[in-house]
Structure 1
Amino acid sequence: MNEIEVADRKYLVGKMPVMKQLHVARRMAPLMAAMANEGDVAAKIAEAVSGLNDADTDYIVDACLGVVRYVDPNSGGTSFPVMPRPGVLAYDFVDLPTVMSLVRAVIAENLGNFIPTAPPASSAPEAV
């Protein structure tokens, strides 16, 4: 499991079963096409995301958060599932920006060799 920090909290990002990876990748095909095009990548990704239906969006988020664990500092570093069952978040502090960061981390970890990931919002182009 890969440890990441989001909003000053530690999480463990796990591996999805290969068939779940396939189903997530299939549902993300419109996003992959948007990322492959030149130009304003952020606008194209936003347009592709808005075109996903609710069921596909829920599948992607549920599949991704299903392999994420929160590392609780108050329990000696024991980790607990962020989403113990599809559609049910275990913690109130997991807000939309956190969900999106965790989903991106899971996709990078599980599908990084298959789906191109956009650079982090905080990264700036290097000077030449």
Structure 2
Amino acid sequence: MSCPAIFGDYALPTKLGSSFYHAQLNGVVTIVAPGTNVNGIRLGTGTALAVTDAVVVLFAATSAPSGYSDTSKQIAYQLGGVRGTHIDLVIPAGLGLYAATGMNIQFCLNYDIL
């Protein structure tokens, strides 16, 4: 399954990543461990689907955040609402990629490990 970047009635041309994460998320999950990220991670598109205005916070850090509101970790991106988004962001080498939320939410992210 892929994650389209949808804005209104059209999709932006976006290179999908060769890897993806897709799951029902509630809490914190490691998408890419810091030791796996030796050259960087390029984020492509992401989608967060929920009944409410729930958000998924993407963290770039050397260790997992304690939760979605962890202020000691660097936030790379935040997804919310019911639409996909074109992220196009590179996470530097040596940092892990983590996703966190406080509600049940369907979450999908395309990425490339560089």
Structure 1 length as normaliser, TM-score? 0.25
Greater RCO (Cα-Cα under 8 Å, separation 6 or more) = 2
More helix by share: 1
Higher strand share: 2
TM-score normalised according to structure 2 size = 0.27
Which of these two proteins has the greater Rg computed from alpha carbons? 1
